[in-house]
Amino acid sequence: MNYSEIISSTNFMGSEPTIRIEGQVDLEVYTKMKKAFSKGIDINSLCFFSSYSGFEIELNHKFEVIFDENNPLNYTFLESELLEVTQQFAFPEQQISRGWKHIIIVSFNPFIPNIIKELPIVDNWFIGKAGIRLSSKTFYKGYRDLYLS
């Protein structure tokens, strides 16, 4: 099964918050948006374009797994945390809002994994279409099992 078949075949998303990352934000866009970010990026964090969200996700929400939705066997169990959120107008947001796409800063503990470092650097949504997900272990295991069925 592919991603859209998994999501449409069941109410799979349920109540498990997940973020779909499309790509790393390029330097020019980050420079325009950084006024929305109080902390910005550092050695263990990066800025991303995230896809439309099916969830309200508060700042500081932690995720346990990072995986490729098109190949869930490409994954890593590594903690990540949603640090900052904005939309295209560079205003700080207190959460990811359901039904919207966002520009986000995520930190990784203890390091930024290769699955993230390898994401394309893009200047807009819908260009990267990487499909990397941040999720809980429960969401990941359910997704993986459906994908492989």
Mean pLDDT of the chain, nearest integer: 89
Over pLDDT 70: what percentage of the chain?
A: 88
Give the CA-trace dihedral at 7, 46, 119, 91, to 10 degrees.
60
Give the domain range for residue 110: 3-148
How many whole angstroms separate alpha carbon 120 and alpha carbon 105? 16
The domain total for the chain is 1
Among the listed residues 51, 49, 55, 59, the one whose alpha carbon sits nearest the alpha carbon of residue 98: 55
- CB-count burial class (<10 Å; 0-12, 13-18, 19+) for 54: middle
Q: Is the pLDDT of residue 15 over 90?
A: no
Output the pTM of the full model. Answer: 0.90
Q: What is the pLDDT of residues 90-137, one digit of tens each?
A: 899 999 999 899 999 999 999 999 999 999 999 988 766 678 999 999
What pLDDT does 7 receive? Answer: 53
What pLDDT does 128 receive? Answer: 60
User: CATH number of the domain that 27 lies in?
Assistant: 2.40.30.10
Q: Is the pLDDT of residue 73 over 90?
A: yes
